[in-house]
Amino acid sequence: MAKTDFTVLTTTDSYPAWFSETRAALLAAQVWRHVNTQVPTPTYVDVDAPTEIEKREMRIFLENEEQALGIILERIDAANARLIGTKEAHNAWTALETAHVVQSANRQYQLYQAMANVRQKPDEALPTYMQRVEQAADRFSTSLTTGASADDIIDMLVAFITVSNLDPTVLNAAIRRLDGHTEHTVYIRAKTNMTQHIQIRHKQHDTGTYIVA
């Protein structure tokens, strides 16, 4: 198989990266609107005698539709191609989204839980512990379609760490809202708190062991 410079959609695990890259390609080609919305097909006032303007609008519409669908088809495997069949661009995109987003959301939840449950081991050096946290955050970040960085995900964990006895369901709800970036600023501010929090707690333990409650 020839190597490509983009992600090919194969399984739900590849969907987040595929979504981001393919959306960028569609935007660059100026045909994202044909995927994101149901663009109505132009009509002729007189089918037997369309005007030059009407014919031009129809030609542009069809070219954009074909280009949008072509970008999608180029970036999916045979199984996903069978899934969308002969659908036009918008319906093809929606079919892929329906098939993969629910599974992707479940995967994100599992990765978030794994990240939030990272605990410092007895006698584990702080840099080693933070590296494990960052690795868990990287895995979670990769599962998102928003382009959130590992640092952004670390910010989420900071909120979990710094707020004593926080009910996990509260943070779960906040993370589900991340796609709308409604909590984004809060977590960025928490990033600064993380360093201060670690330094304070680290000084409180002469042994150098920093344990997250």
Partners of 76 in beta bridges: 9
For residue 164, is pLDDT > 80? no
Q: What is the pLDDT of residue 93?
A: 94
Q: What is the CA radius of gyration of the chain?
A: 23
pLDDT tens per residue, range 30-84: 999 999 999 999 999 998 899 999 999 999 999 999 999 999 999 999 999 998 9
CA distances to 29, 70, 77, 145, 179 from 35, in Å: 12, 11, 19, 16, 19
CA distances to 42, 53, 59 from 50, in Å: 11, 8, 12
Which of the residue ranges 76-85, 124-133, 179-188 has the most confident prediction, judged by mean pLDDT?
A: 76-85
Count the neighbouring beta carbons within 10 Å of the beta carbon of residue 175. 22
- Tokens matching residue 159: 């909120």
pTM recorded for the entire structure? 0.52
Closest among 181, 179, 160, 161 to 169, alpha carbons compared? 160
* Domain residue ranges of the chain, discontinuous segments joined by +: 12-103, 122-203
- Tokens matching residue 189: 């501010």
For residue 158, is pLDDT > 70? no
Closest among 149, 140, 162, 39 to 89, alpha carbons compared? 39
